[in-house]
Amino acid sequence: MSSTPNWTLGRTVFSAPLPGGTVGQSTSLGINTSLGWGNYNAAFVTMRTNNYHGLTTVSNFTWGRSLGTSQLAQYNSASTPLTPYYLQDSYGPQNFDFKFLYNLSMYYQPQVFKGQHGILGHVLGGWTFAPLFTAQSGGGTAVGYTEAYGTQAFGEVTTSSSSVGSTSEEAVGLLPYTGNISARYNVYPTGAANGNNLVEGPASVGTKTSGYFGLNAFANPAQVYSEFRPCVLGLDTNCGGYYNLRGLPTWDLDANIIKDLGLYKERVSAKFFVSITNVLNHFQPGGPSLNISSPTTFGQLGGQANTPRNMEFGIRLGW
């Protein structure tokens, strides 16, 4: 009986190198598709007044919800599903999901001294005030984590390389959530972790690594930090979705002020105007750092979401 020749598998996916490539397992597989779904539902209320004693207003309020299987628009091919086997695992709030939206615009021309007769009329008449107020509830934010290589979700791309795309994988709950995101002052971390808990300490301890040190989204960031953990393959069926928390609410007040200088008798018109953004110059903190891989900065509010007051002056001439 003749001997059977030895047979060796030329290459395995897990250990042998690809031709001209490197040794090791393929770490990334981008799945781009238009097979997702989404929905938007809202209640919309508006109220208008039209030149009521010189006042015209438009006020809009929206109470809505936007959910879908991806946080990005269809034209963007940089995001892949959490898992291509169950697209519904990526279902969650969209990046434009705001529960409450409100805006109020006003245009007011006082009726007193409307003709601008005399010196007093020229001083007190010809004014126009146009404020714009906007407010919204907190947008989506998420507690996440950083992985060195690969991810825990089966079939998912690696999140360590931006060249192969990204996906929505966030931390999951370990304990009941006790936090309530808002701007809190004089909350300092120690700059050191104690197991899974972050120990709070005095202002002299800790390192400012991002944002405004001492400004935190939580009264007790150590407690909230301990309530989340990384997603674990085989244990979790959903890795948090795109959002698992709500960020800070925002509001803003802008205004235009116009003064008609009343030069029509000379066949020349002139209007002086002032455009102001952030009229009250209020500070709106940016979103918090919510990475459980960086316990020393957890909850820390970084930067300013709005801009300081801006004023623009000008004169418009007509002839």
User: For the chain, what is the radius of gyration of the CA atoms?
Assistant: 29
What pLDDT does 24 receive?
52
**Three-point CA angle 208, 211, 212, nearest 5°:** 75
Tell me the residue ranges of DSSP E strands in the chain.
Answer: 38-52, 55-68, 92-93, 100-108, 127-136, 140-141, 172-173, 184-185, 189-194, 197-200, 215-216, 228-229, 245-246, 250-260, 269-277, 310-318
Are 230 and 152 in contact, with CB atoms under 8 Å apart? yes
Are 240 and 143 in contact, with CB atoms under 8 Å apart? yes
Please give the backbone phi and psi of residue 257, each rounded to the nearest 5 degrees, phi first: -125, 125
What pLDDT does 77 receive?
59
Single out the residue of 151, 133, 138, 164 nearest to residue 28, CA to CA: 164
What pLDDT does 30 receive?
64
Q: What does the pLDDT look like over 37-91, one tens digit per residue?
A: 888 999 999 999 998 988 999 999 999 998 887 656 555 556 666 667 777 777 7
CA pair distance 167, 150, nearest whole angstrom: 12
Model-level pTM greater than 0.75? no
Single out the residue of 79, 21, 36, 131 nearest to residue 11, CA to CA: 21
Q: Which residues of 82-95 are buried (b: 16+ CB within 10 A; e: fewer)?
A: bbbeebebbbbbbe
Q: What does the pLDDT look like over 269-282, one tens digit per residue?
A: 788 899 999 999 99
What integer is the mean pLDDT of 2-28? 48
User: Mean of the per-residue pLDDT values for the chain?
Assistant: 75
Work out the percent of the chain whose per-residue pLDDT is above 70.
66
Single out the residue of 169, 150, 297 nearest to residue 230, CA to CA: 169
Question: What are the counts of helices (DSSP H) followed by strands (DSSP E) for the chain?
Answer: 2, 16
Q: What does the pLDDT look like over 188-224, one tens digit per residue?
A: 755 433 333 444 433 333 344 444 567 889 988 888 9
Of residues 12 and 53, more confidently modeled:
53
